[in-house]
């Protein structure tokens, strides 16, 4: 007796139905009564039958009212109604009603997308018909949530909390259903690594595995169990293989999965890296594959480079490693890294520091000794090469900051800073900035060994030359150069101040009016006076 009586489903009463659905949202009690009334599975289908009539007869007013009705039912935000609306029988009618948004100049094309463009491909046979139905339903629900709802009038972010819960609940049901399928993941992994698998099939399998991992790893209840399953299936060796293939989509999906694992289970990744470093010496190891991918990848414009950089920063961060591994293990890993892996990362840098190699694009410029899936001809593009080198320098700067002891030994032994400062002459200023930032990161440590290395190697000479070349310009590169000298002055790094004043005063004579260089000379003279007083 407390149920709300709904008007009969016919064209003359559409206005009354629209008013009822719209007004019910204003009262919690009316909203609940309306939901219970709409629970009758025949009512929404009857509304959709009227939609077909209105569309066939081009009844504009009826289509507008049906849009308001369907929007209002969606805004009731009840899972019991979502199950009806997203079913095979109703979904196209619901989406069709939402195409006639009064705020749009033309009707949407959502039905065309769902029926002709969107193609849910079954890369792995699923025998359970109920599970297949749930997969289709969640796809439709996410399409409505992400594509249609944000464009509706008076829609607000986070408005339909129960729709989010409905989608998450469906995801969990799908995961449980897939995990009941016997040996399905084993079959997926076997096909991914089988050389006989067609490229298109492998790409589809990787997209599926990426979605499956994203669902499983974001579910705290099943995460540990899923990680154990992945470990048994040798997930990391599989990713090593897949990140070296030619297909960009496969590599991207593999990188996504590795990124998920790094975020949700860093301990698993670090444990694998440490074990691999201790046990193997072949060049198919994970870090080697990532470095070569960073250097050889021609797809920087698609964001693959940024993705690899984020993964590598996470994997090479000792502070994150120490959260799950012992100090001894982390230190041992860094020993192996600087013995075996870092030479792969620095291989693109020039070994010859003579003048003829000073700029990117020189005919003799060829720093890519690897045999990989991409030819050197592609990397001959000057801008592309500069981008790759900039990424390498950014990662090396990260190592300077996070691996202070190991990186210092490597820089001094390999004369790395001299090789990097060559890029100050590059016409690509973003590359020159990366080279300067590498030196700035070193000086920022205020390390005595680094300072002696810089002064003995006269490594300020290319910096001073770059400053003089840009003295009449106003740009980010000149600002970064000035900031380097200003940092030395404000931090009173006397060893470097004395070196600069004693060796470059004449060269910097044209800039003596600048406060920074006046200050350097003043501090040098003050320190000299103090030393003389001590002697006296």
DSSP states along 284-326: TSHHHHHHHHHHH-S-GGGTHHHHHHHHHHHHT-HHHHHTTS-
Q: What is the mean pLDDT of residues 46-64?
A: 91
Q: Please tell me the predicted confidence (pLDDT) of residue 281.
A: 62
In angstroms, rounded to a whole number, what is the distance separating the alpha carbons of residues 317 and 399?
A: 9
In angstroms, rounded to a whole number, what is the distance separating the alpha carbons of residues 38 and 41?
A: 7
CB count within 10 Å of CB 11 equals: 14
Residue 368 predicted with pLDDT over 90 = no
Q: What is the mean pLDDT of residues 19-38?
A: 84
Q: Which of 162-171, 192-201, 268-277, 393-402 has the highest mean pLDDT?
A: 393-402
Q: Please tell me the predicted confidence (pLDDT) of residue 155.
A: 67
Residue among 152, 169, 57 at smallest CA distance from 103: 152
In angstroms, rounded to a whole number, what is the distance separating the alpha carbons of residues 189 and 235?
A: 8
Q: Please tell me the predicted confidence (pLDDT) of residue 442.
A: 97
Q: Decide: 262 and 315 in contact? Cβ < 8 Å.
A: yes
Residue 531 predicted with pLDDT over 50 = yes
Span 369-417, pLDDT tens digits: 433 333 333 333 478 888 889 999 999 999 999 999 999 999 999 999 9
Rg (CA), the chain: 32
In angstroms, rounded to a whole number, what is the distance separating the alpha carbons of residues 436 and 420?
A: 9
Q: Which of 188-197, 324-333, 373-382 has the lowest mean pLDDT?
A: 373-382
Q: Please tell me the predicted confidence (pLDDT) of residue 157.
A: 63
Q: What's the residue count for the chain?
A: 536
SS3 state of residue 328:
helix
Span 166-185, pLDDT tens digits: 888 888 888 777 777 657 78
Q: Decide: 131 and 174 in contact? Cβ < 8 Å.
A: yes
Q: Please tell me the predicted confidence (pLDDT) of residue 220.
A: 78
């Amino acid at each position: 007796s407390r149920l709300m009586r709904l008007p009969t489903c016919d064209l003359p009463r559409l206005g009354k139905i629209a008013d009822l659905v719209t007004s019910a949202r204003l009262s919690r009690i009316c909203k609940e009564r309306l939901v219970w009334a709409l629970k009758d599975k025949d009512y929404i289908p009857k509304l959709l039958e009227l939609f077909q009539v209105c569309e066939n007869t081009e009844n504009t007013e009826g289509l507008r009212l049906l849009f308001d009705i369907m929007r209002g039912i969606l805004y009731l935000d009840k899972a019991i109604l979502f199950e009806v609306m997203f079913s095979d029988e109703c979904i196209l009618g619901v989406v069709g009603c939402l195409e006639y948004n009064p705020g749009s100049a033309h009707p949407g094309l959502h039905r065309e997308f769902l029926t002709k463009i969107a193609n849910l491909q079954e890369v792995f046979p699923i025998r359970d018909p109920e599970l297949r139905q749930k997969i289709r339903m969640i796809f439709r629900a996410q399409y409505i949530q992400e594509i249609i709802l944000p464009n509706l009038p008076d829609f607000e972010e986070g408005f339909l909390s129960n729709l989010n819960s409905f989608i998450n609940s469906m995801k969990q049901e799908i995961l449980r259903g897939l995990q009941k399928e016997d040996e399905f993941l084993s079959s997926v992994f076997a096909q991914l690594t089988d050389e006989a698998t067609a490229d298109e099939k492998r790409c589809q399998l990787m997209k599926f595995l990426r979605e499956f991992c994203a669902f499983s790893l974001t579910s705290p209840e099943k995460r540990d169990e899923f990680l154990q399953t992945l470990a048994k299936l040798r997930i990391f060796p599989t990713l090593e293989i897949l990140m070296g293939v030619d297909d960009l989509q496969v590599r991207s999906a593999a990188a996504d999965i590795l990124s998920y694992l790094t975020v949700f289970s860093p301990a698993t990744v670090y444990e694998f890296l440490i074990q691999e470093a201790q046990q193997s010496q072949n060049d198919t190891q994970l870090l080697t594959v990532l470095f070569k991918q960073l250097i050889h990848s021609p797809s920087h414009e698609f964001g693959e480079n940024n993705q690899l950089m984020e993964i590598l920063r996470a994997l090479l961060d000792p502070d994150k490693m120490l959260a799950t591994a012992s100090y001894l293990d982390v230190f041992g890993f860094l020993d192996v890294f600087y013995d075996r892996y870092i030479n792969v990362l620095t291989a693109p840098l020039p070994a010859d520091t003579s003048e003829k190699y000073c700029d990117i694009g020189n005919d003799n410029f060829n720093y890519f000794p690897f045999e990989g899936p991409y030819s050197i001809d592609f990397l001959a593009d000057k801008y592309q090469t500069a981008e790759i080198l900039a990424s390498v320098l950014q990662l090396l700067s990260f190592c300077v900051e996070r691996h202070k002891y190991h990186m210092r030994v490597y820089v001094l032994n390999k004369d790395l800073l001299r090789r990097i400062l060559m890029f100050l002459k590059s016409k690509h200023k973003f590359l020159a900035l990366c080279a300067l930032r590498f030196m700035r990161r070193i000086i920022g440590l205020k390390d005595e060994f680094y300072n002696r290395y810089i002064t003995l190697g006269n490594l300020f000479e290319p910096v001073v030359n770059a400053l003089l070349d840009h003295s009449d310009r106003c740009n980010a590169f000149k600002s970064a150069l000035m900031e380097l000298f200003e940092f030395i002055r404000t931090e009173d790094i006397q060893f470097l101040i004395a070196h600069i004043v004693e060796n470059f005063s004449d060269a910097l004579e044209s800039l003596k009016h600048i406060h920074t260089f006046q200050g350097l000379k003043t501090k040098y003279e003050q320190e000299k006076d103090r030393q003389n007083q001590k002697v006296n």
